[in-house]
Structure 1
Amino acid sequence: METPVSLMIILLAFPVGFLMFLMVSLSRKKRQANLLFTQGIEYIKLLRTLLTYVQQHRGLTTGFINGNLGAKPDIEKIAIKIKRIMGELDEAGDWIRSNVKWSSLVDHWTRLGITYLQGDADKNFKQHNILIANLLYLIDDVADVHHLSKITGDAMDTDWRYLLSIAEYIGQVRALGTGVAAKGECSSVLRIQLNHLRNKIASSVDSSWPDKSRVEIQQLLRCIETQLIVDHPSIQAGDYFKLATRCIEHVLDQFDRQIDRLQYYRN
């Protein structure tokens, strides 16, 4: 009798033990996935803030180089904010601290932060563009590694990474336009660049966005057409910078909404 009983115990114990192991393993994997997701959201929010500051720095320095010397205090304040947020990102986790793209970005910014003092507007603009492009690539990496994806199933949702691209189109328009307004003239090269970006922005505006967002972006597009790419630009650099900044904020509000939805559906 002892052998069959022992065999039954073994036969029962094996599947029970296997199920317990499976449950513990799945629970651990879920916990790890949640931690990875939470860390990714933290990175995305910090990188979004850094992106905003670097874009502002590009616009302000372009205006400064072209004659808007009153922007110097604002440039210095933004530089302090960039340094602070980079420090927060360094402290946020091992993944980003050991990331080669992040190290390269920090090194690039160290040099770029004072490049505008050389007075070369074109070089300043292009170097900022390179840094921002690499920052967007890093955000893509965070999204892939930490399993952050678009919420599907809602026709009103837009891919949040695409929203950052739209914000960058407006950011470039803000920088170039601020330079034109500060200098009081628009070269043929700048007219082509501004027109190209203007068309990209116009084709990117989503009809589902709030009325205020769409109205203000349309106001920016009209401003470019009637007050910038003309023989005698007629808008002050500071006023143009503020208008373009509000438009960027409208787009980034949509971005923040998408990130909040990601967290909501994950939880």
Structure 2
Amino acid sequence: MIVALSGMIILLFVLVGIQLSISRKKHKEKVMATLRMVAIIKRIIGLSQKHRGLTATYLQGNNSVAGELYEIRQNIEALINDANQFALTTSEARWEAYLDHWRRLESTSMQLTPPESFKQHTSLIETLLYLLQDVAEHIEFAETDQSLNEAHFLWREFPQLVEYIGQARAVGVATATKGESSQIDKVKLGYLCEKINLMSDTVFNKLNQMTKVSESDQLNQAKQACIQLVSLINEQLILPVKVSIANQEYFAIASHTMEQCNTLLDNELSAIVTRFSD
């Protein structure tokens, strides 16, 4: 009787252990799928931001970017197909809203006015930024790694910083293409410079506070790139009566700043993926 009872207790512990192991495995798979989806959405955001910037210069008469715009749309389509493989994405209402908006913008973007194009692209990207947050929140941090609670800014403030830089790239490249800065352009760029300064301080301070920052050199480079971009916007686009900086030069500098920030962000997201892969 005692032997049989002992055997049952041992069997119970074994079954509980197996169930816990299965639960942990399923949870780990869910987290990994979520992180893969975050990476896809982030990539779509980056391509959408580039599409906005190049469309701005196209609508100001720079037809040479038409081929690159077509390539960006093809790449976005491939990423949409990848995203549609995830039930997590297709169950999100914002994903459906994004698809509907993108289909309409994709077919009309080359015929819009520059202000309407900027407005439509920025609204589209805003939907994607909220979608990024929604998908990332599916990770149940409290049940996995408590230290990840401090990483929320990686899909909130950090992508928003990159978006402010992207907006400044789009407005600035259009301004450089037409060779003059209207009062509306100056106000928009001044507002974006202020946002970049404030958000970069928030993001870089949080990165400094994290126990593991991928590369301190990269952090300093990204910080300096933001400072230099804001200085360039003020000196070359806001203060002068006539804008002399070439649109390609400005686009490259703003894109470099975005790349510096995205490298940092990608490294931190990769570190989270590695943590869950162990």
Shared topology, TM-score over 0.5?
Answer: yes
Max radius of gyration: which structure? Answer: 1
Q: CA deviation at 1:227?
A: 0.9
Work out whether residues 65 and 121 of structure 1, in 8 Å CA contact, stay in contact via their aligned partners in 2: yes
Q: How many equivalent pairs are there?
A: 258
From 234, 254, 259, give the equivalent of 1:244. 254
Q: Deviations over 1:152-173 (max 9, x none)?
A: 49x9x88312211110010000
Work out whether residues 63 and 179 of structure 1, in 8 Å CA contact, stay in contact via their aligned partners in 2: yes
From 145, 166, 169, give the equivalent of 1:171. 166
- Partners of 2:127 and 2:112 lie apart in 1 by 24
Alignment partner, residue 136 of structure 2: 143
**1:178-189 pair list within 5 angstroms:** 178-189=173-184
Alignment partner, residue 3 of structure 1: none
2:41 paired with 1:41: no
Q: CA deviation at 1:144?
A: 1.0
Could you say what the CA RMSD is over the residues aligned between the two structures, in angstroms?
2.3
Work out whether residues 163 and 254 of structure 1, in 8 Å CA contact, stay in contact via their aligned partners in 2: no
2:210 paired with 1:216: no
Secondary structure, counterpart of 2:84 in structure 1: helix
Q: Deviations over 1:18-57 (max 9, x none)?
A: 3223212211110111100110111111111111100000
Alignment partner, residue 101 of structure 2: 108
Secondary structure, counterpart of 1:259 in structure 2: helix
Work out whether residues 56 and 118 of structure 2, in 8 Å CA contact, stay in contact via their aligned partners in 1: yes
Work out whether residues 115 and 124 of structure 1, in 8 Å CA contact, stay in contact via their aligned partners in 2: no
Q: Deviations over 1:96-131 (max 9, x none)?
A: 133322122112111111322223111111111111
Alignment partner, residue 127 of structure 2: 134
Work out whether residues 151 and 261 of structure 1, in 8 Å CA contact, stay in contact via their aligned partners in 2: no
Work out whether residues 116 and 124 of structure 1, in 8 Å CA contact, stay in contact via their aligned partners in 2: yes
Work out whether residues 88 and 135 of structure 2, in 8 Å CA contact, stay in contact via their aligned partners in 1: no
Any gaps of 5 or more consecutive residues in structure 2? 209-217
- Partners of 1:10 and 1:122 lie apart in 2 by 79
Work out whether residues 181 and 236 of structure 1, in 8 Å CA contact, stay in contact via their aligned partners in 2: yes
Secondary structure, counterpart of 1:190 in structure 2: helix
From 254, 263, 277, give the equivalent of 1:253. 263
- Partners of 1:249 and 1:141 lie apart in 2 by 24
Any gaps of 5 or more consecutive residues in structure 1? 1-5
Identity %: 26
- Partners of 2:265 and 2:16 lie apart in 1 by 38
2:208 paired with 1:198: no
**One-letter amino acid of the counterpart of residue 104, structure 2:** R
